[in-house]
Amino acid sequence: MQDILSDIFDTIRLRGTLYFRTDYAPPWAVTVPANDETARFHLIVQGRCHVALTDGPSADLGPGDLVLITRGREHTLSDEAGRQPAPLEEIVRITGYDGKGVFAVGTAAPGAATQMVCGHLSFTRGADHPLLRALPPLMVLRPADRTRHPLLDETLRLVARRAFTDTLGAAASISRLSEVFFIEAVRVAIGESPELAGVITAMTDTQIGKVLGRIHEAPAELWTVETLAQVAGMSRSRFAERFTGLLGIAPMAYVVEWRLQKALARLSESDANVKSVAAEVGYKSAAAFTRAFASRFGMTPSEVSA
The CB-side HSE value for 45 (13 A sphere, CA atoms) comes to 20
Contact 16, 172 (CB under 8 A): no
Cβ–Cβ < 8 Å for 133, 12: no
DSSP string covering 22-72, please? EEEPSS-EEEEPP-TTEEEEEEEEES-EEEEETTS-EEEE-TT-EEEETT-
Q: 235 Cβ partners below 8 Å, 6+ apart?
A: 229
Mean pLDDT for 41-49 is 94
* Closest CA relative to residue 221, chosen from 259, 248, 189, 264: 259
Lowest mean pLDDT, pick from 85-94, 156-165, 271-280: 156-165
The per-residue pLDDT for 130 is 95
CATH of span 4-193 = 2.60.120.10
137-151 residue pLDDT tens: 999 999 998 898 999
Number of H helices, E strands in the chain: 14, 11
pLDDT band of residue 127 (cuts 50, 70, 90) is very high
pLDDT at 1 over 60: no
Domain 205-305 of CATH type 3.40.630.30: no
pLDDT value of residue 106? 79
Distance of CA 99 to the CA centre of its chain: 23
pLDDT of 271 higher than 90: no
Residue boundaries of the structural domains of the chain: 4-193, 205-305
